[in-house]
Amino acid sequence: MSGMGGAAEQTLAGRAGVVTGGSRGLGRSIAEAFVAAGARVAVLDLDGAEQAAEEIGGETFGLAGDVTDAAAVEAAFAQVAERFGRFDFLVNNAGTRVQAPFESHPLDVWRRTIDVNLTGSFICAQAAIALMLERGGGQIVNLASIAGAIALKERAAYNASKGGVIALTQSIAAELSGRGIRCNAIAPGIIETPLSAAYFRDERMVGAITANTPLGRWGQPHEIAGPAVFLCSPAAEFVHGHTLFVDGGWMAFKGY
Amino acid sequence: MLESGLGGKTCLVTGAANGIGRATAELLAGEGARLALCDNAADALAAVELPLGEGGDGGEGGEKPLKTVADLSKRAEVERVLAETTARFGTLDVLIHCAGIYRVSELPAVTDDEWEQVIDVNLRSSFLLAQGAVELMRGHGDGRIVLFGSFAARTGGLRASAPYAASKAGVEGLTRHVAHYAGPLGVRVNCVHPGFTVTPMTEILGDQARAEAIERSPLRRHCGPAEQASVAVFLASDLAAFVHGATLDVNGGMYMA
């Protein structure tokens, strides 16, 4: 769309970067959309990255890696910059979610969730920004969640990690603005992905989701991918430090 | 996957004679939309020429945009604009309501008249247009509405007057209300909160105020109307199919939310 600075396919033409957790679900859909918009994408994931890259096509390549391992991320991102000759965008999508009642929430699960969702985003952003600044800038999109703004029950660690991602987004935006870095977050509502597959088999859950979403349905991964492309595109040149809720109206209904 | 889906859609853009509204109309013309353009300034609206080309001039069939002059704070005028739009194009798919007025009076100086005028032009018009548009869009069940709030809704107005800040905060609440009602009818509605944008509307600010706004801006610059228009067009497009009841802040990081 020309609102995004040219034909849709050309919105991100010439750009290159990384989508973490890009083998499946939201990350996969985001990687596909970035390629469709003309970008070259490296998919980083614990497993399945190479196969996903092959299926996505184009110049996509896969990197096996753990976002919580700073040295591994730094090495992987250096490889991306070398292979593509640039590093323009990072989509911090890798994440985990575990349901546990607060009173018996296992500490190791808490630590692991914060580690992957929040610390992983920090590690990747830090590594990416170093490479972006070498070339004068870039765009970062962090995947937060409605859970970062309103508590979902029995997901204390997840909620806290995603609230942290929103604060991290604003921190990066505040500190690196004026140096060519734009940083924003997307806060999805309920999206049908492998991570949330269990919801859609539970009739009670399906009823609750549709009743709490003014659009009357849950979202599909490509409906997060479109906003991710937008936020990295010239169309969002003045959008900075913002958390874009993509939730079918959930937040408007359930309140902040 | 990345198609805007706006080609051939009937889009009503208000405040289309200049600033963000005009920039929005230009982008929509590029998408091949059919355009109804509304403004209260007859001469300026008549002077709007959209870029010709593929899908340009407001429609796939080279349709000229409908231009209509109106005071959108009046119910009868809003009803007329909507009726003219559907009479010409048979439907209404998209409403992007950019028309508004800006005032900088300090609190003690705000008169009843100013309060009423600003609330009427900014907030009542949003209500009247959204109310009317939903009725037209529920028939086909694929409507998109974008309303304009402001950075002032977040800050209370650094320069902007009390009625301006209140009217724009009102637009945000209105957006959520319409989202509850119209979501199930297949009508998406969202709100843009622009930061300081260089348009005729903000010329009321002096050079010093503009310089201070740049100074305070994390991106160290002002925003042009096209950078607001591209966000509004995104929200109206298929790319934002699951964005509903949301507020999108476009202020370069001046106020992060």
What does the pLDDT look like over A22-75, one tens digit per residue? 999 999 999 999 999 999 999 999 999 999 999 999 999 999 999 999 999 999
State residue B63's pLDDT score. 75
pLDDT(B9) > 80: yes
A-B contacts at Cβ under 8 angstroms: 165
Instruction: Judge whether A102 is closer than 8 Å to chain B, CB to CB.
Output: no
Strand order of the sheet with strand A181-188? A61-64, A40-45, A16-20, A89-92, A138-143, A181-188, A243-246
Which chain A residue is nearest to residue B143, measuring alpha carbons? A215
B164 assigned to active site: yes
CA B115 – CA B161 distance, rounded (Å): 9
Q: Which of A238, A239, A246, A254 to mutate to test the interface with B (most CBs of B within 10 A)?
A: A238
Cβ of A240 within 8 Å of Cβ of B195? The answer is no
Give the A window 212-241 contacts with B, CB below 8 Å. 213-216, 219-220, 222-227, 229-230, 234-241
State residue B56's pLDDT score. 46
Chain A residues whose beta carbon lies within 8 Å of the beta carbon of residue B182: 214
| Pick from A18-27, A42-51, A198-207, B65-74: least confident | A198-207
Chain B residues whose beta carbon lies within 8 Å of the beta carbon of residue A236: 230-231, 234
Query: For B110, phi and psi rounded to 5 degrees?
Result: -75, 120
Chain A residues whose beta carbon lies within 8 Å of the beta carbon of residue B241: 223, 226
**Biggest CA-to-CA distance, chain A:** 52
3-class state of residue A196 by DSSP: helix
Cβ of A242 within 8 Å of Cβ of B249? The answer is yes
CA A18 – CA A2 distance, rounded (Å): 24
CA B192 – CA B149 distance, rounded (Å): 6
pLDDT(B230) > 90: yes
CA B237 from centre of chain? 14
Cβ of B242 within 8 Å of Cβ of A224? The answer is yes
State residue B115's pLDDT score. 98
| Min Cα separation A196/chain B (Å) | 17
Instruction: Judge whether A150 is closer than 8 Å to chain B, CB to CB.
Output: no
Chain B residues whose beta carbon lies within 8 Å of the beta carbon of residue A256: none
pLDDT tens sequence across B18-50: 999 999 999 999 999 999 999 999 999 999 998
Query: Which member of A158, A218, A230, A245 is catalytic?
Result: A158
Instruction: Judge whether B37 is closer than 8 Å to chain A, CB to CB.
Output: no
Query: For B29, phi and psi rounded to 5 degrees?
Result: -60, -40
User: CB-CB: which of B2, B30, B246 is closest to A2?
Assistant: B30
Instruction: Judge whether A33 is closer than 8 Å to chain B, CB to CB.
Output: yes
pLDDT tens sequence across A217-234: 999 999 999 999 999 999
In the block, tokens 């500190």 appear at A175
pLDDT-derived band of residue B133, with 50, 70 and 90 as boundaries? Answer: very high
pLDDT(B202) > 90: no
Higher pLDDT, A122 or A1: A122
Cβ of A253 within 8 Å of Cβ of B249? The answer is no
pLDDT(B58) > 70: no
pLDDT(A93) > 90: yes
pLDDT(A3) > 50: no
Chain A residues whose beta carbon lies within 8 Å of the beta carbon of residue B234: 1, 3-4, 227, 230, 235-236
Instruction: Judge whether B218 is closer than 8 Å to chain A, CB to CB.
Output: yes
* Beta-bridge partners for A89: A17, A139
Average pLDDT of chain A to the nearest whole number: 93
Question: What percentage of chain B carries pLDDT values higher than 90?
Answer: 82
Tokens of A128: 């990416």
Report the pLDDT averaged over residues B210-229: 88
Average pLDDT of chain B to the nearest whole number: 93
State residue A8's pLDDT score. 56
